[in-house]
Structure 1
């Protein structure tokens, strides 16, 4: 015969086999506060950096009384990744494109095995990206500077060709001037000489 109070056993739920409890996410609120109060990054960018939503950032900032810095205090944030930086495949495309400025061929060289039809489509998409356009423009400008190539110099070259006077290549006697006898403008307009040797005494 049993006496005394009966103790009821409480069943403890057991974790199902193969499952583990989800780890608790730790949010670096100190870092969030530093980014919120010390930079002009958007709440969306801050949220992405710390793995939380921009709404959570805004609510926490309002609850804690955080204040954003003024434009005079903090310079503009660095540009987002993708606006100036290039992915490796984009960089390969740009370098190939600078060779002949042919988008389709550049993409085929950058991505071997790509069909011409697909390369034409992908090249068009590449050239539509702002960061790719900026890199191409920067590289071409760098090349032009290195070669001292300016719009004025190019136009001057075209002017020499447009107003070239063939008579400047001959002496008053009618004999063709030798290369070292040509003035600068005439020499620039002539692509080259073709010399034909003939046997003396021939008809």
Structure 2
């Protein structure tokens, strides 16, 4: 058994959250083997529930608060109480029964909330896969509707606990203003159908595509297509610089990233999509407006204009009719 699996068994055994039967199913070993390892390494199994542990932590927080109040001035009491409330506030509790999660899914959700890394969360939750297998298994759990709902609810609860300040708002504007739109959508120059075909002939994806094209040509009473370029066309490859059909420039294609995986500034920039007559349109927040808001906040843009007369006095107006010479003389006096 690998070291990560051994440490996972120790963690779950000592936590006392799972029964030995459930652990045996997860790690693929017998209950007797788990007991044997616990006896050999001296593991101590906790009998306390998560609720009891949280209450104990809350009680300690109260004791610390009382000690601070005895040694603090009245002006500091409110600030210290506020800090303790933030520090001692319980994290969002994932109730597996509420969301209908299995034990593995419940552990995955809690581990994912630590660093938002699905593959790492899968391994810490007891997953056995490695490399691409681990990523595929982690993605399968992550895309589960129940798991996704639990994660979104937990992240929303975390945001509600976060206090919004002017600095936070400024950071949001700055993130939008400097976000890389290529993390949402890209315009790529990729290979054409002739770039990697034999003798730069038209290349098909597979035999099925070729047969479908042949049937379509036969129905339309047109000559059948040729497959001298072979099969295996991959539209994600770069252009062949020697291709005589596209002159090495390839073909332009739009690519949209999976917005469910957007994080940080790119997530704030993304505002949705719109499907219309000409296809899909990605909607983003206005980066220029966000940059202006940052500049205004830093005092780089003046939006207030003041008009005054000589020596800062009010602007005088005359309602009498004046000739051109009188108006010029009046103007010279005003500019004095």
Q: TM-score, normalised by structure 1?
A: 0.35
Structure 1 or 2: more helix by fraction:
2
Task: Give 1 or 2 for the bigger CA radius of gyration.
Answer: 1
| TM-score using structure 2 length | 0.22
Structure number with greater CO (CA < 8 Å, separation at least 6) is 2
